[in-house]
A and B are shown apart, each in its own frame.
Chain A
């Protein structure tokens, strides 16, 4: 299954607004994407509650996985999203 590791750039971690942007982007791919803290159990990345519940802090590494048509492209796009700090002044 295609997967990617990425460091979360958001200064507040994956909470509130960054989490909601990420979950919306995942949902838009139409694919069953999962997210895990590297080494941890994967959770459904379409669920904002599960994503926030991971407690991902700034600079934590996460693993994204997805299956299906266009999974690689979708993952690349999501990695790009997580690698940007959306709260940068």
Chain B
């Protein structure tokens, strides 16, 4: 229930006022700042009484927004600056302004005229290819700003922040999350979204405590003090001193963990569990390489491809991969070959419209249509590996059959790369792991996709978030099958999904036979600490308890009972 506790009613035992799904285990106290939603043109906006005045208003709004964007561009880094510069040109586009004025003259209300003119251009841009999709987003952002100005309401986005802030929003667009002021933002609360939505992934990457699917989040009062706890999924308005201190000291303990333990991942008994980083862009690699990690468990190469209008040349790819491998010295780097498809379209490898892209031609399946892409990529990886000292392993996404696994391994070897593996995301691959592991050198479980497929729940279906929980016993059964298959033949089976960064679940995974855990680098210290306090027998007992549980929540509760209390305290 969304009740704001009044000062008088404040008792020593604060009750959670809102609940949602926590991302990670963080907690924070801060002031609510709501992300202003974009103002919409009124449905029945009247025609301008004075078209000349309306034209002037629209022109000044365009100019104001364009100037603002140019100012932001001047202050931004090169890559962002180029985008903002192009966006500011859109906000002074003579074709667009002329179109708006035509509509105003024809009797359309000014804000509606802006909206309609922009939508007209969006259609043109959309028609000219998938690579302009981001520009469509930029153009709509310009529209929202101009419409706000025409209507005399605040522009969408966050105001300037001055104190510890918890950002509250209906949902966050990737652009919103990218522009968060990390000096002041201490947490995120959204009404929509899901545990694997963009917001959640970026919050995890930034190690920001985050709650999604919080019913009534937008009813929180602006500037109210709230305490959020991702571990328990609670939002408390006006926390009392006890709760405030508990949360702050937990946040401090988590921060201390980062420096408390270091080095290779080991269980209490000394069994090695590699702790690795997930990376995408080259800059990620350079950042992650400075962290205390044993290498890379997942290098998402599609980042290199997604923005390109033409297939990156072998030479371009060699340059990028060499940078990444070099950054990691002689550590291990697991490269995942291109994982694109209908939901992540490539301009140079057009895919047909699919009703159900998650089940369509994606990942390794793209190879059926564009075999040259994989050969070029393997060639580039091989050249970069030769030029550097990193231990380079290569794996394919979305492998479903023994035949696919065998064909991929042969392709990798034919390029002179020694270690070839597969992702386990499709339940079929987990169920047939015993046969697959005879062929591949290693496997890595992508828990986000494996959960979506095992539970038949779209990763974007926030409403069904509890089904997307990797603690679901059915998902753990599949992981257990893969782990046991790896053990039987003595080959490594890792996990490179978000599940690996949940310290309790990480212990369960190790108990299921998982030999490496790859995650956003910010998650590594807590997992390392949890491992160092738990022996392998306890991990196995935890795995059994979680698989025997009736549901995800019961599994977690059972594992909490088995864990060293100090670990629980630090989580």
Q: Bound state CA distance, A79 and B285, in angstroms?
A: 39
Instruction: Give the shortest distance, in Å, between A65 (CB) and chain B (any CB).
Output: 16
Instruction: Give the shortest distance, in Å, between B126 (CB) and chain A (any CB).
Output: 10
Residues from 119 to 162 in B contacting A, C-beta threshold 8 Å: 121, 124-125, 127-129, 131-132, 135, 139
Residue of B with least CB distance to A19: B86
Q: Which of B90, B128, B316 is the one whose CB lies under 8 Å from A48?
A: B90
Residue pair A23, B309 in contact (C-beta under 8 Å): no
Q: Tell me which of B82, B85, B309 has the highest count of chain A C-beta atoms within 10 A of its own C-beta.
A: B309
Residue pair A49, B124 in contact (C-beta under 8 Å): yes
- Whether B42 is near chain A, meaning CB under 8 Å from some CB there, is no
- Whether A3 is near chain B, meaning CB under 8 Å from some CB there, is no
Instruction: Give the shortest distance, in Å, between B99 (CB) and chain A (any CB).
Output: 9
Residue pair A20, B129 in contact (C-beta under 8 Å): no
Given the known inter-chain contacts A55-B129, A89-B316, please indicate yes or no for A48 contacting B310, CB distance below 8 A.
no
Chain B proximity mask over A35-63: 1 for CB below 8 Å, otherwise 0: 00000000110111110111101100000
- Whether A17 is near chain B, meaning CB under 8 Å from some CB there, is yes
Residues from 12 to 33 in A contacting B, C-beta threshold 8 Å: 12-13, 15-17, 19-20, 23-24
Contacts of A55 in B (CB 8 A): 127-129, 132
Residue pair B82, A47 in contact (C-beta under 8 Å): no
Contacts of A7 in B (CB 8 A): none
Instruction: Give the shortest distance, in Å, between A57 (CB) and chain B (any CB).
Output: 7
Residue pair B83, A16 in contact (C-beta under 8 Å): yes
Instruction: Give the shortest distance, in Å, between B91 (CB) and chain A (any CB).
Output: 10
Residues from 319 to 357 in B contacting A, C-beta threshold 8 Å: 319
Q: Which of A16, A49, A57 is the one whose CB lies under 8 Å from B95?
A: A49
Q: Which of B94, B128, B308 is the one whose CB lies under 8 Å from A52?
A: B128
Contacts of A57 in B (CB 8 A): 309
Instruction: Give the shortest distance, in Å, between A49 (CB) and chain B (any CB).
Output: 5
The number of residues on chain B lying at the interface, defined by a beta carbon within 8 Å of a beta carbon of chain A, is: 25
Given the known inter-chain contacts A20-B85, A58-B310, please indicate yes or no for A53 contacting B121, CB distance below 8 A.
yes
Contacts of B85 in A (CB 8 A): 20
Given the known inter-chain contacts A11-B309, A48-B89, please indicate yes or no for A16 contacting B94, CB distance below 8 A.
no
- Whether B231 is near chain A, meaning CB under 8 Å from some CB there, is no
Q: Bound state CA distance, A47 and B308, in angstroms?
A: 23
Q: Bound state CA distance, A11 and B127, in angstroms?
A: 20
Q: Tell me which of B85, B86, B129, B319 has the highest count of chain A C-beta atoms within 10 A of its own C-beta.
A: B86
Residue pair A48, B93 in contact (C-beta under 8 Å): yes
Chain A proximity mask over B425-447: 1 for CB below 8 Å, otherwise 0: 00000000000000000000000
Q: Which of B89, B94, B124, B319 is the one whose CB lies under 8 Å from A44?
A: B94
Residue pair B95, A47 in contact (C-beta under 8 Å): yes
Q: Which of B93, B121, B139, B309 is the one whose CB lies under 8 Å from A15?
A: B309
- Whether B47 is near chain A, meaning CB under 8 Å from some CB there, is no
Q: Tell me which of A17, A19, A20, A47 has the highest count of chain B C-beta atoms within 10 A of its own C-beta.
A: A47
Q: Bound state CA distance, A53 and B96, in angstroms?
A: 12
Residue pair A20, B95 in contact (C-beta under 8 Å): no
Instruction: Give the shortest distance, in Å, between B139 (CB) and chain A (any CB).
Output: 7
Q: Bound state CA distance, A24 and B90, in angstroms?
A: 11
Given the known inter-chain contacts A20-B82, A20-B86, A47-B96, please indicate yes or no for A13 contacting B309, CB distance below 8 A.
yes
Residue pair B93, A49 in contact (C-beta under 8 Å): yes
Residue pair B132, A15 in contact (C-beta under 8 Å): yes
Instruction: Give the shortest distance, in Å, between A52 (CB) and chain B (any CB).
Output: 6
Residues from 58 to 80 in A contacting B, C-beta threshold 8 Å: 58
Contacts of B309 in A (CB 8 A): 11-13, 15, 57-58
Across the A-B interface, the 10 shortest Cβ-Cβ residue pairs: A55-B128, A47-B95, A53-B124, A20-B86, A12-B309, A48-B89, A49-B121, A50-B95, A47-B93, A17-B82
Q: Which residues of B contact A (CB under 8 A)?
A: 82-83, 85-86, 89-90, 93-96, 121, 124-125, 127-129, 131-132, 135, 139, 308-310, 316, 319
23 contacts between A and B (CB under 8 A): A12-B131, A15-B131, A15-B132, A15-B309, A16-B86, A19-B86, A20-B86, A20-B89, A24-B89, A47-B93, A47-B94, A47-B95, A47-B96, A48-B93, A49-B124, A49-B125, A50-B93, A50-B95, A52-B132, A53-B121, A53-B127, A53-B128, A58-B310
Query: Beyond the given A43-B95, A50-B93, could you list 6 further A-B residue pairs with CB under 8 A, ordered by the A residue number?
Result: A16-B82, A16-B86, A49-B90, A52-B125, A57-B309, A89-B316
